[in-house]
Each structure stands twice: as C-alpha cells, then as structure tokens.
C-alpha cells in the first residue's frame, strides 16, 4: 500500500462546499427534538421538505427518538432502512395462522391470535377488524384447555353470541387441513393478506397519529409479505417435490421465517410529503440543498471497532513506520469506511450542513464530538438558542437562519409561520 493510500485513511476530510453549523444537545432525545424543530422552522420559511435530508451513520438508535420528535413537531419522516418484516403485523398474521393450523389442539389464545393480528374476512367486512376489548372479552368467556379447531367452533357458538367469531371459526374449519398443498398455502395466506390490505390497513390509518407511521409500516409490510407468500408457495412446491420438507404448516412457517430474514435492499417506497432519513452509506451521489447529519459523536461516528491488533501497532502500520510499511492496514483501523460516508454526507449538501450531536450519556457521562468534526469550520449554536428553538415560542438560531439567507431559500420576514 502506498503512502498516499495510507494517509487517505487518516488525513483530514475535504472541506464541504457550503457553510456548516453545529447543533449540540445534552441527550440523544434532545438532539432529535432539535432536529425536528429545525426542520419544521425551515420548512415553514419556504424550504421544500424534499430539499432536506437527515443522515445518520446508524439509524437504529435514532429511529425511535426521531419518530417521537417528528410526531411532536408535525413532521412526517421516512426512514430509508430495511424493513424488519418479521416484526410487523402482516407477518405476525401469517405466522399465527401457520401455528394454529399446524398445532392440532390449541388454547383459546392460539385460536384467536390471528384475529388479534387483524385477520379479516374477504367479504362482509363491516365491524372488522375486531378490537382488542372484543377479543379479550371472548378469551375470558371461552373455557381453558386445548381443543381442535372443530371443537373450538362448537365451543364458540355455545359460549359467545359474537357472529364475527363464528364467521372466523367457520373460515378456519374450511382451511384446517394439517397437510397443506402449495395451492392451499396460496389460498389461505394470500387471501388473508389481501383482506388485510383492503380492510385492516385503512382501519389502522383511521386510528393512527398524524405522522401515519404505523400505517406506513403496515402498508410496506403488506407489500413485502404478499411477495413473501408467493415465494414461500413456490419454494414449498419445489421442496415438497424433492423431499426436502414435510407436508405441514410447520414447514410452511419455517420457510416463511427463512425467506423473511433474507432482507432485501433499501428504498421500498417514497413519500413526497415526508422528510427523508437515511444512513450514511446510502448518501453517495446524492445532491440536496440541506443535509442534517445526526450523531456526530466520537462514540458513534466513527463506529468503535474491536481488534486483536494493539492501537499503537495500528497507528504505526497506518503511518508506515519502520518495517511496518510492508503490512497492509485494515480500513477499519483508520475509520476509512465511516470517514468516507461522513465525507459523502458533507458533499451531498449544496447550500448548508447542520451537524448535530449529543453531549452526555443517559447516566450523565461525557460524550465527545466526532474526530471528523475537527477538520470542519463550523459555527456552533448556543445552548440558549437551542433552548429557544424547542420552546413554545420557537425561533430559528441565527447560524441556521444565515444558511437559508445565504442560499436565498426564503424570505425570513414574509414567510415566517408562527406557532404560538
């Protein structure tokens, strides 16, 4: 490895072509609030929401606080992350059906689990999906113990007067064969997801928050699970033919889990009215007026890596000192990948960058700035200005307002929208 390549892992970052503002906050939650308050303020000053992108090295620790802050400030976020489909309601629905049909004798809780995951019939959907109080009342009315689906169908008729539960049990009996064919898998699971899409997703939207986060996740998951069921049906057919799996709902469920955990690529949808929030490894080649880079701390950007090679030796190899110049360093030693992604985030901004970070852990320990910030010329937002930003009478901090003024993005007098 040449000296130029070695120093590329540790050298200073190239300066962005636009001004940079630093916005520190005490905690990650306060940082998220400051981010969403900033987005609302600059949006209300005439900046299109699609002209702003939020970037994080790792979205996992930021998705929840940013979502909560977005709801508080009336901003709709779109997280460009791989959907963890096995944690979604549509997937839980097909998994519950597989468990129920495979088990033979089941408890009342297992019997009603698909309904708890918003199973609905394909027709006559008035009153569906059932609400949790209705399901809980049925569980309390039904006896304990294990029964087959036909036995539960009789028991439901004698212990409840709920016509919807009777409809559900009738549907179960018509599909309760324990040795499903690929055609049966398609009929049962595809029909259930189709009905979920037509009835349960709109019902969730009616009860959702203004940001529609739960609805958006349910809609994305419905698309993914629809494709998943198609894949499972074809793979189940192939594996039955060559004897790889037994003919059972348990085998179908195992296939669902196997294929669902093979996570596909990103960018499964888009929302023209939402703020894009993405990980830094997706930013390469992006060009947008304003970038907000969150989590710029030494603890998170760059990521901390474990290595059996002592730090002193890593530094010597990176410097090419002595006989170590014949050893090729690992990119992770110089934080090369994270460094490149951070540089990509800076380059993506055309008019201004806002770098945010939190300064203390949950137990009050100090969190230091990312070393990548050392090579940037930044103006820092004061504590007083940040407090005013997230107050009931918000005011955009001067350094951030200056970014917009310099870019000609808005008229700070005529387009200001009050929040009092």
| Per-residue pLDDT band at 414 (split at 50, 70, 90) | very low
Domain coverage including residue 156: 86-260
For residues 349 and 394, state if they share a domain. Answer: yes
Q: Which residue has the higher pLDDT, 74 or 6?
A: 74
For residues 57 and 126, state if they share a domain. Answer: no
For residues 235 and 364, state if they share a domain. Answer: no
For residues 255 and 364, state if they share a domain. Answer: no
How far is residue 410's CA from residue 51's CA, in Å, rounded to a whole number?
13
For residues 242 and 105, state if they share a domain. Answer: yes
Residue 299 has pLDDT above 90, yes or no: no
Measure CA 393 to chain center.
Answer: 31
pLDDT digits (tens, 9 = 90+) for 128-149: 999 999 999 999 999 999 999 9
Q: Is residue 412 part of a domain?
A: no
Mean per-residue pLDDT of the chain: 85
Q: Is residue 358 part of a domain?
A: yes
pLDDT digits (tens, 9 = 90+) for 225-253: 999 999 999 999 999 998 888 999 999 99
In sequence order, which residues have a C-beta less than 8 Å from that of residue 372 and are 6 or more positions away? 13, 296, 301, 302, 339, 342
pLDDT of 326 reads 53
- Tally of domains within the chain: 2
Alpha helix (H) ranges present in 209-363? Answer: 213-241, 249-260, 311-319, 336-348
Closest CA to 218 of 117, 132, 347: 117
Residue 359 has pLDDT above 80, yes or no: yes
Residue 411 has pLDDT above 70, yes or no: no
CA dihedral 290, 294, 297, 302 (to 10 degrees): -80
Residue 162 has pLDDT above 70, yes or no: yes
Measure CA 367 to chain center.
Answer: 25
CATH number for the domain harbouring residue 71: 3.40.50.300
pLDDT of 181 reads 95
Point out the domain boundary residue: 260, 289, 310.
260
pLDDT of 342 reads 93
For residues 201 and 333, state if they share a domain. Answer: no
For residues 253 and 124, state if they share a domain. Answer: yes
For residues 32 and 98, state if they share a domain. Answer: no
Question: Which residues of 29-122 form beta strands (DSSP E)?
Answer: 52-56, 77-80
- Burial of 33: CB neighbours in 10 Å, binned 0-12, 13-18, 19+: buried
For residues 382 and 279, state if they share a domain. Answer: yes
For residues 150 and 253, state if they share a domain. Answer: yes
For residues 393 and 302, state if they share a domain. Answer: yes
């Amino acid at each position: 490895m040449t000296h130029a390549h070695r120093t590329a892992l540790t050298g200073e970052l190239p300066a962005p072509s636009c001004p940079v503002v630093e916005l520190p906050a005490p905690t990650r939650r306060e940082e998220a609030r400051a981010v969403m308050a900033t987005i609302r303020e600059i949006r209300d000053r005439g900046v299109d929401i699609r002209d702003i992108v939020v970037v994080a090295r790792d979205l996992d620790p930021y998705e929840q606080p940013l979502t909560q802050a977005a709801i508080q400030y009336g901003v709709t976020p779109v997280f460009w992350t791989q959907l963890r489909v096995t944690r979604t309601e549509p997937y839980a629905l097909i998994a519950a059906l597989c468990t129920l049909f495979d088990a033979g004798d089941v408890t009342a809780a297992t019997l009603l689990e698909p309904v708890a995951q918003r199973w609905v019939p394909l027709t006559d959907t008035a009153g569906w999906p059932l609400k949790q109080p209705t399901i809980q009342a049925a569980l309390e009315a039904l006896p304990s113990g294990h029964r087959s689906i036909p036995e539960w169908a009789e028991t439901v008729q004698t212990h409840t007067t709920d016509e919807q539960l009777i409809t559900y049990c009738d549907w179960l009996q018509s599909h309760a064969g324990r040795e499903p064919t690929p055609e049966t898998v398609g009929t049962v699971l595809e029909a259930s997801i189709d009905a979920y899409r037509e009835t349960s997703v709109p019902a969730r939207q009616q009860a959702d928050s203004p940001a529609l986060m739960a609805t958006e996740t349910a809609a994305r998951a419905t698309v993914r699970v629809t494709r998943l069921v198609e894949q499972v049906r074809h793979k189940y057919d192939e594996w039955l033919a060559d004897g790889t799996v037994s003919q059972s709902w348990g085998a179908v469920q195992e296939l669902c889990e196997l294929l669902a955990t093979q996570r596909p690529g990103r960018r499964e949808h888009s929302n023209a009215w939402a703020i894009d929030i993405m990980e830094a490894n997706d930013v390469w080649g992006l060009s947008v007026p304003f970038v907000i880079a969150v989590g710029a701390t030494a603890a998170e950007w760059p990521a901390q890596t474990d290595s059996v090679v002592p730090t002193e030796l890593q530094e010597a190899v990176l410097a090419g000192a002595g006989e170590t110049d014949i050893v090729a360093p690992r990119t992770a030693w110089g934080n090369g990948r994270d460094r490149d992604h951070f540089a990509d985030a800076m380059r993506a901004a055309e008019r201004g960058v806002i770098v945010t970070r939190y300064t203390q852990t949950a137990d009050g320990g100090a969190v230091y700035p990312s070393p990548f910030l050392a090579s940037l010329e930044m103006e820092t937002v004061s504590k007083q200005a940040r407090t005013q930003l997230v107050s009931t009478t918000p005011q955009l901090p001067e350094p951030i307002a200056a970014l917009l003024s310099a870019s000609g993005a808005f008229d700070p007098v005529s387009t200001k929208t009050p929040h009092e």
